[in-house]
């Protein structure tokens, strides 16, 4: 297997505090890799460093052998790295379908003049947006809620929509920041099915998640962060029996349970 | 409102607008209507960057004035025809939108608002002090009016009567609505609204926020400049007062009262606020005072303006 993304000595300081410290990581093409660790371990910071929301103090990010360390978020998205946010971010005043359609904007070229004189390109781009949005709508199972405002759909549907919007951008690597946050047991498994469906399409997934049951179930590999440093890496079973991981994150009770 | 009802309503309003000059013969009232047409163009333009893109731009007086001065100066000093000066004025205003947008759009929220307002004050100062070019506070007089449009064989269309001037302004108002509608309903407009909704999310979805905001600002400024050119040729006189930042606040008030981020709201707001005080013969001294009271009540009870309140009402009926 080849690495789709490589983090090299990735470091980020906030004042004198290191949020991420000399993190080396290879994400293999096609895998589901989970990033776990206690609150404040720097998981979301890693996402922000990858996407260009934050610029690292030191170190580099390579995506498909290209240095993307200093690219802006919209540029990394254009290259094929999409993300969702920990606090479900949507365009709440727009309908579900509109949320998905605007997410395809980055794959279209039409501009102001195209809109003004309604060129072929304008109509064609509009059509492609709708087509893509409808395809993803089906994948995330929200067809019946297509014309509802994003604000007025249940929390679980909002979480699915957020994943759907990231998928509309046609990513090769998908970063999911706690996609199961606040979901019930039942909803967890349907979200897991969705994530597995996405992986079957050949999309690599980097996942931040606190629910260990989900992580153990879905991940090919797990990476554990603590105080911005990698303390363990490997298959789920191996990591969960690692003494350092148990001390830092899982707690003594975990191994017994 | 469903699209067919909306279409018929638009046609009905259009018919009324076309008939109006035949009904109102009072020059004073016609003048108010023409002026509110011009203000409506500029207010609609402001609504693109403010209402649809969510950037509190407070320099619209400057862009209105820059368009007006650019056209007036080329007409006066270079004898440029009105029909060439009009796109020129709009282009110059749009260009200034680009120049000021590049640094100003690096800031957000209230910083952007204050930054643009300062730019406006600088523009007014420069126009006031650069006497060699702008004639300073004495202003530019004798700006040529709307030039006739020559037609082959039949002669020409002139704009000497108030009715003709009214139709000309009405045409540009409709053109502005057309341009904005096409923009807003397209993917370009969708990306504007995405920035308004959540800039961080928009960027994460691959929408370049600075470039997108810049485009919205340029279109908005160019249309404001076009309104400025119409004003200059209609009134025939310009002074630094016509670039004042308080103008921008007037447009802001029209938008807030009519309904921010709606297509019809800014027009309704402009018509109401421009025509009502005159119709009620309220002394100009009290105008700002009354605006203030109305605004406070609007913001408390109808934060999305008249159109927003109507939308809420129809939504409530449906659900």
**Span B33-44, pLDDT tens digits:** 999 999 999 999
> Which residue from B228, B253, B256, B259 is spatially nearest to B242, judged by alpha carbons?
B228
Per the domain annotation, does A73 fall within a domain? yes
Chain A residues touching B199 at Cβ < 8 A: none
Q: What does pTM read for this prediction?
A: 0.92
Q: What's B3-318's CATH class?
A: mainly alpha
For residue B203, the chain A residues in CB contact (below 8 A) are 53, 72-74, 77
> What is the mean predicted confidence (pLDDT) over B167-193?
95
Nearest to A51 by CA among A13, A83, A18, A11: A83
Residues on chain B touching A73 (C-beta within 8 angstroms): 200, 203-204
Tell me, yes or no, whether A127 lies in a domain. Answer: no
Q: Average pLDDT over chain A, rounded to whole? A: 93
Tell me the helices (H) and strands (E) count for chain A, helix number first: 11, 10
- A36 φ, ψ to 5°? -125, 170
Query: Could you tell me if residue A107 is inside a domain?
Result: no
Cα B49 to Cα B41: distance, rounded to the nearest angstrom: 14
Establish if B137 touches chain A: CB-CB under 8 angstroms: no
E-assigned strands of A38-131?
A: 58-63, 66-67, 81-83
DSSP assignment of B48-98 equals IIIIIS------HHHHHHHHHHHHHHHHHHS---HHHHHHHHHHHHHHHHH
Q: Do A110 and B186 touch (CB under 8 A)?
A: yes
Interface with B, mutate which of A52, A73, A133 (most B CBs under 10 A): A73
Report the gap between the CA of B55 and the closest CA in chain A (Å).
Answer: 17
Has residue A196 got a pLDDT over 80?
yes
Q: What is the tally of structural domains in chain A?
A: 1
Q: Is A128 part of any domain?
A: no
Residue of B nearest to A127 (CA): B187
- Taking an 8 Å cut-off on Cβ atoms, the answer to whether A74 and B203 are in contact is yes
Which of B187, B188, B198 is nearest residue A91 as measured by Cβ atoms?
B198
Distance separating alpha carbons of residues A176 and A165, to the nearest angstrom: 12
Q: Do A105 and B204 touch (CB under 8 A)?
A: no
Question: Two tokens at B33?
Answer: 């209507």
Nearest to residue B66, comparing CAs of B215, B175, B218? Answer: B218
pLDDT of residue B189: 96
| B191 contacts in chain A (CB < 8 Å) | 102, 105
User: What is the Cα–Cα distance from B134 to B239, expressed in whole angstroms?
Assistant: 8
Q: Report chain B residues whose CB lies below 8 A from the CB of A125.
A: 187
Two tokens, residue B270:
């402009």
**Contact status of B106 with chain A (Cβ, < 8 Å):** no
Rounded percentage of chain A residues whose pLDDT exceeds 70: 98
Q: Do B198 and A115 touch (CB under 8 A)?
A: no
B208 neighbourhood in chain A, CB within 8 Å: 72, 74
Angle made by CA atoms A199, A203, A204, in degrees to the nearest 5: 90
pLDDT at B315: 73
Report the candidate in A160, A222, A247, A232 with the shortest Cα–Cα distance to residue A33: A222
ipTM metric: 0.93
A113 part of a folded domain: no
For residue B10, what are the CA distances in angstroms to A118, A188, B3, B14, B142? 22, 50, 10, 6, 37
Q: Has residue A31 been placed in a domain? A: yes
Residue A211 falls inside a structural domain: yes
The minimum CA-CA distance between B295 and chain A, rounded to whole Å, is 24
Across B70-85, average pLDDT: 94
Q: How many other C-beta atoms are found inside a 10 Å radius of the C-beta of residue A96?
A: 29
Give dist(CA A153, CA A165) in Å, integer.
Answer: 15
**Contacts of residue B97, Cβ cutoff 8 Å, sequence gap at least 6:** B63, B217, B218, B220, B221, B222
Sheet holding A17-28, edge to edge: A17-28, A3-14, A58-63, A66-67
Would the CA dihedral through A54, B99, B39, B41 be positive or negative?
negative
Comparison of pLDDT for B21 and B46, the residue scoring more: B46
Residue B268's closest CA among B310, B220, B317? B310
pLDDT at residue B198 tops 70: yes
Greater model confidence, A241 or A31: A31
- Give chain B's radius of gyration (CA, Å): 20
Rounded Cα gap, residues A223 and A233, in angstroms: 4
pLDDT digits (tens, 9 = 90+) for B199-251: 999 999 999 999 999 999 999 999 999 999 999 999 999 999 999 999 999 89
Element (H, E) at A33: strand A32-36
Q: How many angstroms separate the CA atoms of B269 and B57, rounded?
A: 18
pLDDT for the residue B9: 86
- Give me the CATH number covering residue A18: 3.40.50.300
| Token pair listed for B293 | 């009271």
Task: Tell me the pLDDT tens digit for each residue of B259-314.
Answer: 888 888 999 999 888 887 766 666 667 777 777 888 888 888 888 888 888 888 87
Residue that wins the pLDDT comparison between A254 and A120: A120
Residue B148 carries which DSSP code? P
Q: What is the rounded CA–CA span in Å between residue A129 and residue A102?
A: 8
Interface contact B203-A126, CB threshold 8 A: no
pLDDT of residue B319: 55
Out of A89, A116, A169, the one facing B198 most closely (by C-beta) is A89
| pLDDT, position B317 | 66
Answer whether residue A143 is part of any domain: no
What is the nearest CA distance from B208 to chain A, expressed in angstroms? Answer: 6
pLDDT grade, residue A13 (50/70/90)? very high
Distance CA A228, CA A1 (A): 27
Q: How confident is the model at residue A253 (pLDDT cuts 50, 70, 90)?
A: low
CA atoms within 13 A on the CB side of B297: 7
Distance from CA of B287 to the nearest CA of A (A): 35
Mean pLDDT: which of A82-91, B153-162, B254-263, B291-300 is highest? A82-91
Would you call A106 and B207 a contact, using CB atoms and an 8 Å cutoff?
Answer: yes
Predicted pLDDT at B318: 58
Asked if the model's pLDDT at residue A74 lies above 80, the reply is yes
Q: What DSSP character marks residue A250?
A: I
**CB contact burial A193-208 (16+ within 10 A = b; e otherwise):** ebbeebbeeebbbbbb
**Nearest residue in chain B measured CA to CA from A111:** B188
Please count the residues of chain B. 319
Query: Mean pLDDT across the stretch A101-125?
Result: 93
Find the CB nearest A51 among B191, B204, B209: B204
Residue A45 lies in domain: 3-92+154-256
């Amino acid at each position: 297997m080849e690495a789709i993304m490589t983090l090299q000595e990735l470091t980020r300081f906030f004042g004198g505090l290191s949020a991420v410290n000399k993190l080396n990581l290879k994400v293999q093409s096609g895998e589901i890799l989970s990033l776990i660790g206690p609150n404040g371990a720097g998981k979301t910071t890693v996402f922000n460093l990858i996407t260009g929301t934050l610029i690292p103090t030191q170190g580099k990010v390579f995506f498909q052998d290209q240095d993307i360390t200093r690219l802006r978020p919209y540029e990394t998205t254009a290259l094929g790295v999409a993300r969702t946010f920990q606090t479900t971010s949507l365009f709440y005043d727009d309908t579900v379908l509109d949320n998905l359609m605007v997410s395809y904007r980055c794959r279209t070229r039409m501009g102001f003049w195209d809109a003004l004189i309604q060129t072929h390109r304008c109509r064609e781009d509009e059509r492609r947006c709708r087509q893509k949005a409808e395809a993803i709508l089906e994948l995330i199972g929200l067809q019946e809620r297509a014309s509802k405002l994003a604000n007025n759909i249940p929390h679980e549907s909002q979480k699915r929509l957020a994943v759907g919007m990231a998928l509309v951008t046609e990513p090769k690597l998908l970063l999911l920041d706690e996609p199961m946050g606040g979901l019930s047991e039942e909803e967890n498994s349907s979200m897991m099915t969705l994530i597995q469906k996405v992986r079957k399409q050949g999309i690599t997934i980097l996942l931040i998640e606190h629910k260990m049951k989900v992580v153990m179930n879905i991940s090919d590999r797990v990476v554990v962060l603590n105080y911005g440093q990698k303390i363990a890496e490997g298959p789920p079973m191996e990591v969960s029996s690692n003494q350092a991981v148990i001390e830092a994150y899982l707690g003594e009770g975990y191994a017994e349970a | 409102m469903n699209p067919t009802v909306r279409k018929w309503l638009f046609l009905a309003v259009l018919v009324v607008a076309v008939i109006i000059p035949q009904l109102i013969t009072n020059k004073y009232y016609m003048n108010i209507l023409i002026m509110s047409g011009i203000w409506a163009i500029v207010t609609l333009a402001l609504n693109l960057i403010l209402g649809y893109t969510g950037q509190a731009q407070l320099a619209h007086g400057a862009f209105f004035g820059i368009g007006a001065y650019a056209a007036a100066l080329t007409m006066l000093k270079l004898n440029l025809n009105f029909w060439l000066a009009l796109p020129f004025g709009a282009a110059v205003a749009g260009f200034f939108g680009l120049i000021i947008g590049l640094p100003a759009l690096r800031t957000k929220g209230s910083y952007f608002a204050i930054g643009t307002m300062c730019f406006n004050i600088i523009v007014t100062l420069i126009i006031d002090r650069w006497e060699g070019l702008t004639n300073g506070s004495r202003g530019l007089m004798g700006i040529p009016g709307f030039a006739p449009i020559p037609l082959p064989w039949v002669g020409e269309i002139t704009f000497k009567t108030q009715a003709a001037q009214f139709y000309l302004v009405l045409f540009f108002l409709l053109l502005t609505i057309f341009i904005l509608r096409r923009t807003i309903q397209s993917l370009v407009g969708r990306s504007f609204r995405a920035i308004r909704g959540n800039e961080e999310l928009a960027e994460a979805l691959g929408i370049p926020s600075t470039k997108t905001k810049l485009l919205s600002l340029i279109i908005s400024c160019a249309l404001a400049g076009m309104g400025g050119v119409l004003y200059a040729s209609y009134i025939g006189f310009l002074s630094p007062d016509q670039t004042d930042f308080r103008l921008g606040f007037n447009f802001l008030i029209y938008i807030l009262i009519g309904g921010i981020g709606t297509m019809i709201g800014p027009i309704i707001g402009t018509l109401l606020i421009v025509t009502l005080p005159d119709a009620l013969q309220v002394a100009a001294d009290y105008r700002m005072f009354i605006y203030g009271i109305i605004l406070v009540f609007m913001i408390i009870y109808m934060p999305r303006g008249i159109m927003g309140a109507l939308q809420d009402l129809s939504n409530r009926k449906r659900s």
